Amino acid sequence: MDTEQFLAIVKNALEDKKATNIKVLDVRKISSITDFMIIATGQTGRQVIALAQHVIEKAKAQGQRPLGKEGTQVGEWALVDLNDIIVHIMQPQTRDFYQLEKLWSEMGKNSSPTEMFI
């Protein structure tokens, strides 16, 4: 399975559990750690945790074991590292505070990340 097919599966997993404001950023030109970032919002800590766990389950079902996960105990911000895809799931106030989309845009001033629509 190629990365973009897997990307669609991960995005669908987030949509399954009602994540909102899902953004897929193509960071291949500005990052050596991953190809894509997915940023999504969960309304509560419980939803953030459920979203992260659902993404992990769907990844494992595709034979993709996550390299790591963080924040699945508290639920303010969860991160799932799927190697070529890093998934950030945050509560609204956390997402507003960190503004990852803006951060990645500023990091690649000459080559800003491209938002993908899948």
What does the block give as tokens for 71? Answer: 């924040």
In the chain, where the domains are located: 3-98
The C-alpha atoms of residue 75 and residue 94 are separated, in whole angstroms, by 10
Tens-digit pLDDT profile for residues 42-80: 999 999 999 999 999 999 999 999 999 999 999 999 999
The β-bridge relationship of strands 36-41 and 68-70 is unpaired
Tens-digit pLDDT profile for residues 4-31: 999 999 999 999 999 999 999 999 988 8
Q: Which of 102, 63, 98, 99 is nearest to 83 (CA)?
A: 63
The C-alpha atoms of residue 112 and residue 77 are separated, in whole angstroms, by 24
Q: How confident is the model at residue 110 (pLDDT cuts 50, 70, 90)?
A: low
Q: Which of 53, 99, 95 is nearest to 76 (CA)?
A: 95
**CATH number of the domain at 3-98, please?**
3.30.460.10
